[in-house]
Amino acid sequence: MGRLVLGIILSFLALIVLATAKGVGGAGPRPGAAIMRLVGLAIAGIAVFLVLTSTVVVITPGTVGVRHAFGKVDQTPLLPQGVSAAASSSAVHRQ
């Protein structure tokens, strides 16, 4: 859940940096605007990576993953061992 929240915060930060770069570059070509645009795109790339990887869960061989969301435990185990996808709002406990 922490990676998801960090990804959302970084996406807002990227939007602010890109909007500021647009405002700085509006008066004409300036090197500061190009640097700010690159920084904004880098932050946006990191944010997208964090949001996408927050749903991936690895279940090691010999264990079972169980989803836990909002105080309720899902009765059916997660997919078998290996890489699985789970909702970002749920935690996965491995047993």
- pLDDT tens digits, residue range 29-44? 677 788 888 999 999 9
Could you tell me how far CA 38 lies from the centroid of its own chain? 19
Exposed e or buried b per residue across 45-64, where buried means at least 16 C-beta atoms within 10 angstroms of its C-beta? ebbeebbeebeebebeeeee
The residue extents of the domains of the chain are 1-54, 55-95
CA–CA distance, 11 with 39 (Å, rounded to integer): 12
CA–CA distance, 64 with 10 (Å, rounded to integer): 33
Inter-CA distances, 44 with 18, 53, 63, 74, Å: 9, 14, 35, 34
**pTM of the complete model beyond 0.85:** no
Does position 25 have pLDDT exceeding 70, yes or no? no
Mean pLDDT for the chain?
80
Work out the pLDDT band at 14, boundaries 50, 70, 90. Answer: very high
CA–CA distance, 74 with 88 (Å, rounded to integer): 15
Greater confidence (10 vs 91) lies with 10
